[in-house]
């Protein structure tokens, strides 16, 4: 029963990533669009924990590689892994893992404390980790210098901080409504 619940949650969050891809993208000259899908990475890590969050993102990337148009703007297929945004895509599973791992280490005694922990975990996993790999991808694929790639990715930070706050609000709501939820893979204390 436990493995079927895990499978359902992993599938649900991979589907959530697809739904977040329905929101139109905002194209930037950098070759990497602004989307809501980073929010899905953050939520997967906070709500599923490191292992299941990673699995959800890997399932999403596998479906994407098979050609399903799940990225914002209806993009999909192997070609998206050859674009300037490749580093960000590869960063999604790592971001969910880091977010979940940090969430498992941070205090979750009350809904408010859990929300603060979610904001911190999302900032490190969904923002820093994804962007670090995104910058590396821009250097490798778009042939930018490290400085150009780093400065280019700064345009995403204000929006991603808003996504961290949205993730914290969702986690707060879940903590209030389902007090025995396993944030970061452990029980709320």
Query: Which pair of tokens denotes residue 16?
Result: 């959530």
Sequence spans of domains, the chain: 2-185
Q: Which string of b and e fits 99-128 if b means at least 16 CB within 10 Å?
A: bbbbbbebebeebebbbbbbbbbbbbbbbb
Model confidence over 37-81: pLDDT tens digits? 999 999 999 999 999 999 999 999 999 999 999 998 889 999 999
102: which residues sit within 8 A by CB, 6+ positions away?
Answer: 45, 117, 120, 121, 124, 125, 184
Pairwise CA distance, residues 11 & 42, whole Å: 16
The CATH number of 2-185 is 1.10.1760.20
Segments in the chain forming alpha helices (H): 2-20, 37-48, 50-65, 86-105, 111-122, 130-141, 146-153, 157-177
Phi/psi at 85 (5° precision): -85, 5
Do 17 and 76 form a contact (C-beta atoms < 8 A)? no
Query: What residues pair up with 71 in beta bridges, in sequence order?
Result: 75
Pairwise CA distance, residues 159 & 85, whole Å: 17
The one-digit pLDDT tens for each residue of the chain (189 residues) are: 478 888 999 999 999 999 998 888 888 777 788 889 999 999 999 999 999 999 999 999 999 999 999 998 889 999 999 999 999 999 999 999 999 999 999 998 899 999 999 999 999 999 999 999 999 999 999 999 999 999 999 999 999 999 999 999 999 999 999 988 888 876 443
Query: Which pair of tokens denotes residue 179?
Result: 């007090």
pTM of the entire predicted model: 0.92
Three-state secondary structure call for residue 162: helix
Query: Which pair of tokens denotes residue 106?
Result: 């941070």
Interior CA angle at 106 toward 176 and 45, to 5°? 75
Do 57 and 37 form a contact (C-beta atoms < 8 A)? no
């Amino acid at each position: 029963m436990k493995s079927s619940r895990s499978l359902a949650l992993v599938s649900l969050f991979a589907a959530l990533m697809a739904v977040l891809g329905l929101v139109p993208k905002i194209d930037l000259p950098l070759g990497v669009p602004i989307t809501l899908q980073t929010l899905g990475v953050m939520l997967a890590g906070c709500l599923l924990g490191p292992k299941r969050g990673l699995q959800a993102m890997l399932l999403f990337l596998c479906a994407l590689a098979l050609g399903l148009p799940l990225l914002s703007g209806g993009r999909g297929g192997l070609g998206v892994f050859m674009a300037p945004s490749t580093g960000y895509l590869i960063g999604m599973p790592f971001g969910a893992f880091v977010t979940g791992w940090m969430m498992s280490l941070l205090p979750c005694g009350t809904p408010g404390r859990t929300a603060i922990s979610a904001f911190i975990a999302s900032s490190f996993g969904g923002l820093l980790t994804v962007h670090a790999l995104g910058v590396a991808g821009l250097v490798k694929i778009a042939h930018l210098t490290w400085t150009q790639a780093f400065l280019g990715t700064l345009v995403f930070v204000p929006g991603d901080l808003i996504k961290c706050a949205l993730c914290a609000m969702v986690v707060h709501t879940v903590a209030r409504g389902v007090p025995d939820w396993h944030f970061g893979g452990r029980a709320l204390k």
